[in-house]
Amino acid sequence: MDLGLQQRVYVLTGASRGLGLAAARELVADGARVVLGGRSKETLDAAVAGLGGPGHAHGVVADNADPTAPGRLIAAAKERFGRFDGVLISVGGPTAGPVLTAEDESWRDAFESVFLGALRIARTAAGELDAGGVIGFVLSTSVRQPIPGLGISNGLRPGLAMAAKSLADELGPRGIRVLGLLPARIDTDRVRELDAAGSDPEGARRQFEAAIPLGRYGTPEEFGKVAAFLLSPAASYLTGSMIAVDGGALRNL
């Protein structure tokens, strides 16, 4: 199936590793060009090299919480590859822990990056996209049901999903799509860190796997393929949707 990604150009934030990088790999494999945002030049350089070098990818040191980041990322896409077709906003996981012990400062920091930073990127992208453009948010299954021990994430991500849904209504008349991806237990460094937070990481993993109908964690590649499809012209009639990539773990519709 031809996704129609040849020569299209996408910005991906938080994409020097993890789910953002997995999505970038699938986009590039199907002919797209990507601009990666991340906080470490070293990891960005390694990611760009792994994607085939400067003819396929370009890295920009940028933090989602930085108000200058959206403009710099989109400008880099246009300057480097001559166009801008969409953005995938990877919203990193905030500090783990229950709601009762989360300090005000942790909530403020997470709001700046997870919520306000993501919306700022989306607003800036909306001002630069033409019909056929797309804005994707990498969120979490905590949009639909809380995840134990991730109180801040549980508090912020549902609101961001509703903002994305509102954006889909606002931008639909211009032919711009807005989508959310809801990963669950994908085998990334972040998820392994969460599993390792307790005294029995292997036991934690087995417990989570037992609650997943497919009986295992997803791979970054599986997530990346879904993301690449949703960003592509092949998904041109999908907008306002929150797509769970969870192996069936969510128990609601």
Asked whether residue 91 carries a pLDDT value surpassing 80, the answer given is no
The most distant pair of C-alpha atoms in the chain lies apart, rounded to whole Å, by 51
Instruction: Give the residue-averaged pLDDT of 28-39.
Output: 97
pLDDT class of 112 with cuts at 50, 70, 90: very high
Per-residue pLDDT reduced to its tens digit, 201-237: 898 899 999 999 999 999 999 999 999 999 999 999 9
Residue 111 in contact with residue 125, Cβ under 8 Å?
no
CATH class for the region spanning 9-244:
alpha beta
Per-residue pLDDT reduced to its tens digit, 190-202: 888 888 887 788 9
Asked whether residue 93 carries a pLDDT value surpassing 90, the answer given is no
Q: Give the neighbor-by-neighbor strand order of the sheet with 86-90.
A: 57-61, 33-38, 9-13, 86-90, 134-138, 177-183, 242-245
SS3 of the chain: helix, strand, coil, percent, to 5? 50, 15, 35
* Distant-in-sequence, close-in-space partners of 66: CB < 8 Å, separation ≥ 6: 117
Domain residue ranges in the chain = 9-244
Residue 24 to residue 2: CA distance in whole angstroms: 17
Question: Token pair of 139, please?
Answer: 């969120």
Q: According to the model, what pLDDT value does residue 189 have?
A: 86
